[in-house]
Structure 1
Amino acid sequence: MLAASALVLAVAGCIGPRPSAPAATAVAPPPAWRTALAPGGPVRADWWNAFGDPVLTGLVARGLANNPDLGSAAARIDEARATERLARAQRLPLVGGSVPGTTGQTVSPLGTPSDAIGAQPAVSISYDLDLFGRLRQANRAAQAQLLATEGARDTVRLGIESSIAIGYITLRALDLRLAVARQTLAARAEGLRIARRRAETGYTSNLELRQSEYEYRATEQLVPAAQLAISRQENALSLLLGDNPGPIPRGVPLDRLATPAIPDGLPADLLRRRPDLYQAEQTLVATDRSLDSARAAMLPNLALTGSAGVALSTALANPIGVFTVGASILSPIFDGGRLRAQTDAATARRDQAAFAYRRAALQAFREVDDSLAGVQRSGEQAIALSGQRDALAGALRNASNRYRAGYSAYIDQLDAQRGLLTAELSLVQARADRLNAYVTLYQAMGGGWSPADITATTR
């Protein structure tokens, strides 16, 4: 026993103090995040309903039910759960049984040989005492890895929800672009009719007719381009829904989709709800537990073994009880540096997970700030483009009236038409960008915020 204690102390002195995590992995929220909100409820699981479109709600439900990526994530959780059960089973006693049979001859006191048939059923038990927590830490690492896998599944789920919402908003924006192109094409067709009649009567030159034809053809090509983009977007959405390529139902138009309310102050603690940040945190915990298990493997291991059974034979009048009890201490003396290398590798993996957690936290702050800026700036851009569109619409009416009255050249009307088309398409894109910024904000916040957070904030 003294020799074993001395061996334990010697090996413990060899492994040295436990390495600390890199100090550079600490993350502090930016000063702008220090505005606290009252404690709210859990993250909204149906944040997409805030846009007020039942069709979008149905599409998200279909995607969550049929998307193959979620099925793959669920299978990875099953694998991690089985790995955790295996690690937990390593800490339990191992019980086995055997029934070996024997045949032979026996010699009686009178010298008469006789055949003998025997059997020795036995039950054996082995148990690792795990004095230094090698198996216990491995079990905890498996538990943390299971939680990290569940966080990865939630990350995939949130990504699917956001991708469907963004894809639907983009589809409604393309529908509106197609409507604008068709309206403009109808106006250009009317202008071409007037220009052709004026040219035939000799009131204007053929130059204005050719210019009108050019503008009509330039607008005409926008229609098939928008239709092609719509078909591709529908196919992309069908893939997210887990369906074959096909048409996608429509609901509320783009300009009638609701814009959710955003609190003025969003606390940094809300970001802990992000599944990717939770995954990185649990991965760090798992690698830290794995490091503890690797360090414990460098210490002696004490195992208890025992067996009990009976010896049955035709040569014996009564069965004979047989049992054994033993213990073994296994300690590394010289392994060529294998255990030290395993510990160093576990330390490096723990440091990698720590830096990955830092990066995930910084990325979370960045995504939220980008989304908030996108909501604000795209809204300001949409307001400015709306005013520009109204001004260009008025300019086009004036230019058209002056052209028909013969007070201005046709080029003035063409310039107003081009400017109005550009402004209308830019306004559609700005509205889509603003709605997509709301989606990315929900995604960046890990699924949004509770109603209590909104009511506790003064807008």
Structure 2
Amino acid sequence: MTLLNLTLTGCIGPRPQVPAASAVVPPPAWRTALGNGEPIRADWWSAFGDPVLTRLVGQALADNVDLAAAASRIDEARAAARLARAQQTPTLGGNLPSTTGQTVSPFGTPSDAIGAQPAVTASYDLDLFGRLRQASRAAQAQLLASEGARDTVRLAIASGVATNYVTLRALDLRLAVAQQTLAARTEALRIARRRAEAGYTSNLELRQAEAEYRATQQLVPAAQLAISRQENALSLLLGTNPGPIPRGLPLDRLLAPAIPDGLPADLLRRRPDLFQAEQTLVAADRTLDSARAAMLPNLALTGSAGVVLSTALANPIGVFSVGASILSPIFDGGRLRAQSDVATARRDQAAFAYRRTALVAFQEVDNALAGVQRSGEQAVALGLQVDALAAALRNASNRYRAGYTSYIEQLDAQRGLLTAELALVQARADRITAYVALYQAMGGGWSRDDVAATQR
């Protein structure tokens, strides 16, 4: 059942209007060409071109604890739906009462008699006003909502693994930058110490070189600590004990997947959290109908059939009974009315929650699209800055060795290059994680047919 363009009507009392997707205008960037127009596969994490990442996502989808818990909640909802359907079927039962007594005959003496009266009983609620039918439909909608919740967890797990893996590779690159810079600082400290011992420079330059070496040295254990924590976070998503995580491609070799030229707003219908909110609203609506039907009279049919068996009777005697009962509340202290009001409030809450979910979906897609575009521009600019600072450092080092400038000029160039290199690593990681966020915001991928169908 699709609710994005539906206004709920048909029950007593006013109902809030369910927001239509077209009522929320998508941002202009949705129609901007950010890629070459190729479709994105449902297994979108493989588009980054890293087989290790693909294997890690598959392991997480198989062993994650939260996903297993979501599957158990589906089993619970499925059992509740079966129970609700069973309430609409007739109830059959049987009994076998036995009796022991005496019989008195006018032509003889009293004698002992043993008797039994097996019988089958049946009852059926006609459900004239749909109380049970609406309750069954509500349970079925709750089942669909629980399946949407499971798919939301699956999407979040896949996105979490991809994001944490990209962060881990970024930390690996930060550690490599820190180690390379530390090696350069070691060489600079050696030169500064030799020059100070020879009397070419003062001890000030030696202390400055030593301080810069120590400042870079502390970056290495900090990066190693962050890597250990990131590996433990990934292990939790994978459903395993903390331990090392295998590596695949380095961060700068991960592919930037293609994005279709235009992303229609109707693709948001694929989001599992939006489907979950939709089915929760349907379930609340059916529950309200069931609560209101409970205030109306109820008609039930009952019947029984059996035989009387006794040693005092020559032949069994067949017996049966058929009856009906009408039950209608007369005075219940307002219980049924209060239950209806509770159901109404919960239905209204579900409607507004659905509206908020749709608005959040637009926000997340717009943020992810902006992240992909702007972080890419930032990475390009930072790459050019790193090249310029590397050239400046080479010039400053040559001038310092030739004795034309002081050590502070080379020191400033070293600091600027380290800062720019770390910022470039972060920008590249932000760009890849923006792609991951986009896939998650759009419901986990789509095909060319999906895009064409929503554009017709």
TM bucket (normalised to shorter chain) is over 0.9
User: What amino acid is aligned across from residue 29 of structure 1 in structure 2?
Assistant: V
- Alignment partner of 1:410 is 2:404: no
Q: Quote the Cα distance in structure 2 between the aligned partners of 1:351 and 1:77.
A: 24
Kept in 1: contact 2:263–2:451 (CA 8 A): no
Q: Quote the Cα distance in structure 2 between the aligned partners of 1:108 and 1:125.
A: 37
Q: Quote the Cα distance in structure 2 between the aligned partners of 1:35 and 1:212.
A: 53
Residue by residue over 1:233-270, the C-alpha shift from the partner in whole angstroms, topping out at 9 and shown as x without a partner, is: 00110011000000000000000000011123211111
**CA distance change for structure 1 residues 35 and 426 in 2, over 3 Å: closer, same or farther?**
closer
Taking the TM superposition and a 5 Å limit, the aligned residue runs for 1:46-445 are 46-445=43-442
Q: Note the C-alpha offset of 1:41.
A: 13
- Alignment partner of 1:20 is 2:14: yes
Q: Quote the Cα distance in structure 1 between the aligned partners of 2:31 and 2:322.
A: 65
Gaps of 5+ in 2: 1-9
Kept in 2: contact 1:400–1:413 (CA 8 A): yes
Kept in 2: contact 1:382–1:431 (CA 8 A): yes
Q: Note the C-alpha offset of 1:45.
A: 3.1
Percent identity for Structure 1 against Structure 2: 80
Gaps of 5+ in 1: 1-15
Q: Quote the Cα distance in structure 1 between the aligned partners of 2:348 and 2:110.
A: 73
Kept in 1: contact 2:42–2:447 (CA 8 A): no
Worse overlay, 305-314 or 266-275: 266-275
Q: Quote the Cα distance in structure 2 between the aligned partners of 1:455 and 1:191.
A: 60
Residue by residue over 1:391-431, the C-alpha shift from the partner in whole angstroms, topping out at 9 and shown as x without a partner, is: 10010000001111111111000000000000000000000
Equivalent residues, number: 440
Paired residue secondary structure (1:23): coil
**CA distance change for structure 1 residues 167 and 193 in 2, over 3 Å: closer, same or farther?**
same
User: What amino acid is aligned across from residue 144 of structure 1 in structure 2?
Assistant: A
**CA distance change for structure 1 residues 35 and 394 in 2, over 3 Å: closer, same or farther?**
closer
**CA distance change for structure 1 residues 121 and 448 in 2, over 3 Å: closer, same or farther?**
same
Residue by residue over 1:38-82, the C-alpha shift from the partner in whole angstroms, topping out at 9 and shown as x without a partner, is: xx9998431100100000001001111111101100110000000
- Alignment partner of 1:29 is 2:24: yes
Q: Quote the Cα distance in structure 2 between the aligned partners of 1:88 and 1:330.
A: 21
Q: Quote the Cα distance in structure 2 between the aligned partners of 1:231 and 1:116.
A: 85
Kept in 1: contact 2:48–2:255 (CA 8 A): yes
**CA distance change for structure 1 residues 188 and 43 in 2, over 3 Å: closer, same or farther?**
closer
User: What amino acid is aligned across from residue 23 of structure 1 in structure 2?
Assistant: Q
Q: Note the C-alpha offset of 1:21.
A: 2.2
Q: Note the C-alpha offset of 1:128.
A: 0.4
User: What amino acid is aligned across from residue 248 of structure 1 in structure 2?
Assistant: I
**CA distance change for structure 1 residues 36 and 222 in 2, over 3 Å: closer, same or farther?**
closer
Q: Note the C-alpha offset of 1:111.
A: 4.3
Q: Quote the Cα distance in structure 1 between the aligned partners of 2:143 and 2:40.
A: 21
**CA distance change for structure 1 residues 454 and 362 in 2, over 3 Å: closer, same or farther?**
closer
**CA distance change for structure 1 residues 42 and 225 in 2, over 3 Å: closer, same or farther?**
closer
Q: Quote the Cα distance in structure 2 between the aligned partners of 1:201 and 1:451.
A: 71
Kept in 1: contact 2:119–2:305 (CA 8 A): yes
Q: Quote the Cα distance in structure 2 between the aligned partners of 1:78 and 1:456.
A: 33
Q: CA RMSD in A?
A: 2.1
Q: Quote the Cα distance in structure 1 between the aligned partners of 2:360 and 2:168.
A: 28
Kept in 2: contact 1:94–1:127 (CA 8 A): yes
**CA distance change for structure 1 residues 265 and 220 in 2, over 3 Å: closer, same or farther?**
same
Kept in 2: contact 1:43–1:446 (CA 8 A): no
Q: Note the C-alpha offset of 1:23.
A: 3.2
User: What amino acid is aligned across from residue 339 of structure 2 in structure 1?
Assistant: Q
